[in-house]
Structure 1
Amino acid sequence: MDRGRPSGGGSAIDTLAPRQLAGRVWLFPGDPDPYAVRPTVAVVADDRGSVLVDAGQSPAHAREIRAGLRAAGLPEPRWLVYTHHHWDHVWGACAWPGVEIVGHEAGVAPLRAEAARPWSHRYLREQVRDNPRLGPSFRARALAVDSWDGFAVLPPTRTFGDELVLPTGVVVRHVGGRHAPDSSVVLVPDSGVLLLGDCWYPPPAHLRTPADEPDLAMARGLLSGDVEWYVSAHDEPIRLAEARAALTG
């Protein structure tokens, strides 16, 4: 895979190459460097309009993904599903014009609050000065965003409570949890893929306590014989047998 870096201004856009996981599901793998905070983005390809799962962690990241979609000949997204409201999953949304943004209702208020903040590199520095625990997250944001011109945090335009089935058969299901109250998983039944976002992870680093651990009980509850692939946003995809061995062994 060509792991392009965010491009600035009017320079050429780097291309990320998607890889097909199973059936209609294609992945743009994230950055393995945890300090980059760049998650995997999935596309469920469909001629009626693809479903994009998470927006990318910045407009630059989203532009790379859009270029990769075009290069691979995959249908343009019609829907953008947020697995949850954290910045690395939603900050690319403003670079996806014309899509319907789908998210759990619990994510609306925090995203509206984020949208009202005066984002800039200066603001990020000021926030870290006042709360040093924000340092890793906010430094990653500063590196991710090449320009604040036209940047906006976008709440969902379509919300749901427990479950939503999109016209392409993709199922979005709320699971909640300690990482984010709006965490949702995305099931692609015909491809045997469950996209987990960050749902079973502990809380974000700046909110984490020494007692916080991954939610293995939640992860075990998501195991199903109808699912062959499990995709967490910051880990490599694993098959059902591997997931069972890791969680029940």
Structure 2
Amino acid sequence: MELKKISEHIWIMPYESERDRPNLGYVKGDNWSLAIDAGHSDNHVKEFYSLLESAGLPLPSLTVLTHWHWDHTFGMHAVNGLCIANEKTNGHLLEWKNKIETNGPAEFLAIHESIRKEYAGGKEVIVVPADILFSGEMTLDLGGCKVRIVETEAPHTEDSTLVYIEEDKVLFLGDSTCDDFMTGIKDKELCQKLEAKIKSLNPETCMEGHWVPVETSDTLDDLMKF
């Protein structure tokens, strides 16, 4: 696996289908660095950090979550610095933390084969909540690089967060453009709301959770196919 630079301030550790690992984003400003999503497990985080260190990049001071799903969040206990999430995302994390600590990981491991591969060999499943909660929108100035963190309605989950790096005109979408996680249905009204939010940010490049960087028009065309 290689770290890929996709713009002036942004690198990614690319997604992997076998263990359902999403892209992990990294944004470097003059004063701070930010990761986008916290990975599937501590092993995922360790591999990401090893790539950053090999590239001479400092570990992230902050990590922001795009939504609660385990492949994007269950590595949180191993991240450097503080984690940011919207309040809905944090609520889901607290729910799963309680489930696993009370009943063990069996329900979680039963969800999908990719999870069992990530946690093979009896690896411990650890869920922690975020350190910083927000509602609506917040802006971070990393030093010569502003990042907008924006809650949005979206078809995949009800807790989606978009991360827009203004200077690079790159938008991280997490899995927000995908079908509803529970039903497999792609709600037209929610797609229209997400489309409007993306257009209001006006990115040139979109970075989905489990895909390569593409032009915004490609993402919008795919989003609005029913």
The alignment's TM-score, normalised by the length of structure 1, stands at 0.78
2:222 aligned with 1:240, yes or no? no
Please report how far the alpha carbon of residue 186 of structure 1 lies from its aligned counterpart in structure 2 after TM superposition. 0.1
Give the secondary-structure state (helix, strand or coil) at the position aligned to 1:118. helix
- Check 1:162–1:225 CA distance in 2 against 1; reply closer, same or farther (3 A cut): closer
2:13 aligned with 1:36, yes or no? no
2:148 aligned with 1:163, yes or no? no
2:133 aligned with 1:148, yes or no? no
2:69 to 68, 80, 86: 86
Q: Supply the distance in 2 between the matched residues of 1:248 and 1:196 (Cα, whole angstroms).
A: 15
Supply the AA of the counterpart residue of 1:110. H
- Check 1:27–1:148 CA distance in 2 against 1; reply closer, same or farther (3 A cut): same
- Check 1:245–1:183 CA distance in 2 against 1; reply closer, same or farther (3 A cut): closer
Supply the AA of the counterpart residue of 2:90. V
Q: Supply the distance in 2 between the matched residues of 1:62 and 1:195 (Cα, whole angstroms).
A: 18
Q: Partner residue of 1:13?
A: none
- Check 1:29–1:154 CA distance in 2 against 1; reply closer, same or farther (3 A cut): same
1:64 to 39, 47, 51: 47
Please report how far the alpha carbon of residue 246 of structure 1 lies from its aligned counterpart in structure 2 after TM superposition. 5.0
Would you say the 8 A contact 2:40–2:75 is kept in 1? yes
- Check 1:145–1:49 CA distance in 2 against 1; reply closer, same or farther (3 A cut): farther
Please report how far the alpha carbon of residue 84 of structure 1 lies from its aligned counterpart in structure 2 after TM superposition. 0.7
Q: Supply the distance in 2 between the matched residues of 1:241 and 1:84 (Cα, whole angstroms).
A: 23
Would you say the 8 A contact 1:60–1:145 is kept in 2? no
* Rg larger in structure: 1
Q: Supply the distance in 1 between the matched residues of 2:115 and 2:175 (Cα, whole angstroms).
A: 18
2:164 aligned with 1:187, yes or no? yes
Would you say the 8 A contact 1:84–1:107 is kept in 2? yes
Please report how far the alpha carbon of residue 69 of structure 1 lies from its aligned counterpart in structure 2 after TM superposition. 0.4
Give the secondary-structure state (helix, strand or coil) at the position aligned to 1:223. helix
Supply the AA of the counterpart residue of 2:112. F
Please report how far the alpha carbon of residue 219 of structure 1 lies from its aligned counterpart in structure 2 after TM superposition. 4.5
Which residues of structure 1 form unaligned runs of 5+? 3-16, 129-133
Supply the AA of the counterpart residue of 1:165. T
Give the count of matched residue pairs. Answer: 218
Q: Supply the distance in 2 between the matched residues of 1:225 and 1:90 (Cα, whole angstroms).
A: 25
Please report how far the alpha carbon of residue 248 of structure 1 lies from its aligned counterpart in structure 2 after TM superposition. 7.5
The alignment's TM-score, normalised by the length of structure 2, stands at 0.85
Q: Partner residue of 1:8?
A: none
Q: Supply the distance in 1 between the matched residues of 2:141 and 2:201 (Cα, whole angstroms).
A: 24
Which residues of structure 2 form unaligned runs of 5+? none
* Equivalent residues in 2 for 1:221-236, closer than 5 Å: 221=196, 222-223=198-199, 226-236=202-212
Q: Supply the distance in 2 between the matched residues of 1:216 and 1:182 (Cα, whole angstroms).
A: 14
Q: Partner residue of 2:89?
A: 107
Would you say the 8 A contact 1:47–1:75 is kept in 2? no
Q: Partner residue of 1:54?
A: 37
Please report how far the alpha carbon of residue 159 of structure 1 lies from its aligned counterpart in structure 2 after TM superposition. 0.8
Q: Supply the distance in 1 between the matched residues of 2:213 and 2:69 (Cα, whole angstroms).
A: 21
